[in-house]
Amino acid sequence: MAEKPLIVVTNDDGISSKGIKALIKVAAEFGDLLIIAPDKPQSGMGHAITVNNIIRLDESGLYPDYQAYSCTGTPVDCIKMARHFLKERKPDLVVSGINHGANTSISVLYSGTMSAAVEGAIEGIPSVGFSLDSFEAKADFEGSKVVVRQVIQKMLSSKLPEGLCLNVNIPDIPAEKLKGIKVCRAAKAYWKDELNERKDQHGRKYYWLAGEFENRDLGEDTDLYALKKHYASVVPIHFDMTAYHLISEINNWDF
């Protein structure tokens, strides 16, 4: 009998978040799970790894039906931990999320959820990050499950080219209103930062990073456009950031 697929589950909102609970429910339909997720929120951690400190890993009682560990490290650390524990067995899939809030466009760079998927891709494992386009505290992840199920099913049956991962964003609408799933490119959108300046009780200044996401991209083939039109977006992501098309131009600088 064929072995069941082995699926590593992580996220960046922390092991007890609603999004990972929804993801675990769907992933368990497809295989055995190894859950290693941060013990606290790690949003905005990007591709950070823990180099100047130790990492702890503790068995989590939250998911008694599965092997589950909470980790003091970053989402990327969680993937490295999973590889360490699985040793010779390579997982069949890494799933990360479901993130509380969209990770469209350049948010891939800042997102711990997506960075965990990128790390999976670096390790040669088919990987995917899921995000729900809602920052509401009461966000409902039920509708997302339809998309998660369909993407996991496709990823296990199709062969994702090595080194690639998928960035899946899901509109915050009931499942029956979802128009479908669209393969897209990342929109050219930006965070228009505003640093919120305040003073503490001693009169000393401090700052909160704030800002708005601004889309400057009118393309109809982008992730932001798909979400707006009530589609889930799938963007293929690769980890080699070399701008190949500009190597020859920079060569003309004649160092």
42-61: contacts with its own copies (CB under 8 A): 43-52, 54-57
Dihedral angle, C-alpha 67, 38, 233, 125, nearest 10 ° = -60
Residue 201 near its own copies by CB under 8 A: no
Which distant-in-sequence residues (6+ apart) come within 8 Å of 129 by Cβ? Answer: 95, 96, 97, 99, 103, 111, 113, 114, 116, 117, 165, 166, 167, 168
Rounded Cα distance between 56 and 20, Å, is 20
Residue 90 near its own copies by CB under 8 A: no
**Three-state DSSP class for residue 225:** helix
* CB 87 to its own copies: min, Å: 11
145-174: contacts with its own copies (CB under 8 A): 150-151, 154, 158, 161, 164, 166
Nearer to its own copies, 17 or 74 (CB): 74
C-alpha 176: how far from its chain's center? 24
Q: Is the dihedral of CA 81, 241, 109, 25 positive or negative?
A: negative
119-138: contacts with its own copies (CB under 8 A): 122
Nearer to its own copies, 65 or 242 (CB): 242
Interacting span for its own copies (CB under 8 A) from 60-68, 88-96, 127-135, 189-197: 189-197
* CB 4 to its own copies: min, Å: 22
Nearer to its own copies, 24 or 46 (CB): 46
Residue 16 near its own copies by CB under 8 A: no
Residue 216: HSE in the Cβ half-sphere, 13 Å Cα cutoff: 7
Site string for its own copies, 207-246 (x = CB under 8 A): xxx------------------------xxxxxxxxxxx-x
C-alpha 217: how far from its chain's center? 22
Counting residues that bind its own copies (by CB under 8 A) gives 74
Rounded Cα distance between 234 and 189, Å, is 16
Rounded Cα distance between 184 and 224, Å, is 9
The H-or-E segment that residue 165 falls in is: strand 164-170
Rounded Cα distance between 208 and 157, Å, is 44
Selected binder of its own copies within 77, 100, 134, 169 (CB under 8 A)? 77
Nearer to its own copies, 1 or 137 (CB): 137
Enter the tokens of residue 244: 């190949």
* CB 1 to its own copies: min, Å: 27
Cα angle 166, 174, 227 (rounded to 5 degrees) comes to: 45
Nearer to its own copies, 59 or 65 (CB): 59
Interacting span for its own copies (CB under 8 A) from 21-29, 89-97, 130-138, 186-194: 186-194
Residue 106 near its own copies by CB under 8 A: yes
Residue 188 near its own copies by CB under 8 A: yes
**Three-state DSSP class for residue 71:** strand
